[in-house]
């Protein structure tokens, strides 16, 4: 089919192959090439017709998904959406797969799988469409070291969590600096590149990475092992400290609050904002309100517009704001929208973001 997205599904579950295959076949602009039980069968199919996107499980017999993913990225980088079980083991292997080059993840439960996949059909289709727009050049570089779905839920703004400020008074400046980062598709690899480049002495960092529940803890633990700074999944009332990066837990919003000269995070429940929980806009609005000119806002690779409105609020509150440039993004969606709305003071390459963060120390 001309101009349609060809998808290969690789999963050892017959239920997943049947349900996901049917969902993709029914989606406009997408066609299912094959649905196979393991990577060895996938390799045979790919000799004849290479897919535009691969939907991949990670725990399979004969060859695991991570080995298969690394093979693809070494031979012919291709956008991959991970479809993995929501377990501790599943989260760890999925994070490893994303580090190897996968662009996004859909979490699936062990029980009620068919019903879950049907209910999450819009999310899966949107993930495939977003993956099809990924910058394959960037996928290849990292391997070597969306169209809105039909019947989508109402798109709420940050007002659903934190009402807009009633006045424009800027927070008083303190000696503690804050860095707020928002990212989505392609962000796991991008964050690793930024955070591993930072020395132990850095401003306190708060991060929203769009990721499902149960996966952010494994992601934070992995980063903590490879970074000089400490990295942790945020807990309610955690203090934001120099040399520490706090990552919002999947399935919950994270806000910054201030008590005197100190900063803390609130981790709360709430509705989806910009169809995400956690939402970058929610974090950025809270940073604008509570840190103002003490903050640096960073918006990185990702599909959609989450964070664009919040970054503009940060800039108006006196914060410095930067966006990752198009060339270094896997998906230039969120930064592009932030630039379009006027929230970006400066656009920089991914490799320069660590220097912008360190510049906060001498402001």
Catalytic site residues?
184, 210, 306
Q: What gap in Å lies between CA 355 and CA 260, rounded to an integer? A: 28
- Tell which residue, 34, 64, 37, 35, has the closest CA to residue 49: 34
Q: Is 340 exposed, middle or buried (0-12, 13-18, 19+ CB in 10 A)?
A: exposed
Strand partners, 106: 83
Q: What gap in Å lies between CA 16 and CA 128, rounded to an integer? A: 15
Supply 193's token pair.
Answer: 């590149």
Q: Answer for the pair 83, 16: CB distance below 8 angstroms, yes or no.
A: yes
| Beta strands in 196-261, from DSSP E residues, in sequence order | 204-209, 230-233, 244-247, 253-259
Listed in sequence order, the residues at least 6 apart from 51 whose beta carbon sits closer than 8 Å to its beta carbon are 6, 7, 8, 33, 78
DSSP string covering 106-136:
EEE-SSSHHHHHHHTHHHHHHHHHHHHTS-H
Supply 156's token pair.
Answer: 């709420």
Q: Identify the DSSP state of 238.
A: P
Distances (CA, A) of 83 to 108, 211, 228, 257: 7, 12, 31, 35
DSSP string covering 314-347:
HHHTT-EEEEE-TTT-SSBSHHHHHHHHT--SEE
Characterize the bridge pairing of strands 244-247 and 253-259: unpaired
User: Taking CA 207 as the corner, what is the angle to CA 206 and CA 208, rounded to the nearest 5 degrees?
Assistant: 140
* Positive/negative CA dihedral, 21, 25, 29, 34: positive
């Amino acid at each position: 089919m001309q101009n349609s997205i060809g998808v290969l599904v690789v999963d050892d579950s017959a239920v997943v192959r049947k349900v996901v295959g049917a969902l993709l076949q029914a989606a406009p602009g997408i066609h299912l090439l094959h649905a196979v039980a393991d990577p060895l069968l996938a390799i045979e199919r790919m000799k004849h017709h290479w897919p535009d996107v691969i939907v991949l499980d990670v725990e399979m017999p004969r060859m695991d998904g991570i080995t298969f993913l690394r093979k693809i990225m070494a031979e012919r980088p291709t956008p991959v959406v991970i479809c993995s079980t929501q377990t501790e083991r599943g989260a760890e292997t999925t994070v490893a797969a994303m580090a190897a080059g996968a662009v996004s993840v859909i979490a699936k439960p062990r029980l009620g799988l068919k019903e879950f996949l049907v209910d999450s059909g819009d999310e899966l289709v949107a993930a495939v469409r977003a993956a099809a727009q990924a910058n394959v050049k960037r996928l290849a570089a990292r391997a070597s070291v969306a169209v809105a779905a039909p019947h989508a839920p109402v798109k709420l703004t940050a007002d659903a969590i934190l009402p807009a400020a009633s006045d424009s008074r800027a927070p008083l400046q303190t000696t503690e600096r804050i860095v707020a980062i928002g990212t989505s598709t392609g962000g796991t690899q991008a964050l690793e590149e930024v955070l591993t480049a930072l020395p132990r002495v850095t401003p306190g960092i708060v991060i929203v990475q769009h990721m499902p529940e149960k996966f952010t803890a494994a992601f934070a633990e992995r980063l903590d092992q490879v970074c000089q700074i400490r990295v942790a999944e945020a807990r309610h009332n955690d203090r934001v400290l120099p040399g520490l990066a706090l990552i919002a837990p999947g399935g919950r919003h994270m806000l910054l609050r201030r008590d005197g000269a100190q900063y803390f995070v609130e981790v709360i429940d709430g509705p989806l904002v910009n169809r995400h929980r956690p939402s970058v806009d929610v974090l950025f609005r809270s940073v604008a309100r509570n840190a103002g000119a003490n903050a640096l806002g960073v918006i990185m690779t990702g599909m959609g517009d989450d964070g664009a409105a919040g970054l503009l609020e940060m800039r108006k509150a006196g914060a410095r704001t930067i966006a990752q440039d198009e060339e270094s993004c896997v998906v230039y969606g969120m930064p592009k929208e932030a630039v379009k709305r006027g929230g970006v003071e400066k656009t920089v390459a991914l490799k320069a973001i660590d220097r912008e963060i360190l510049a906060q120390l001498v402001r």
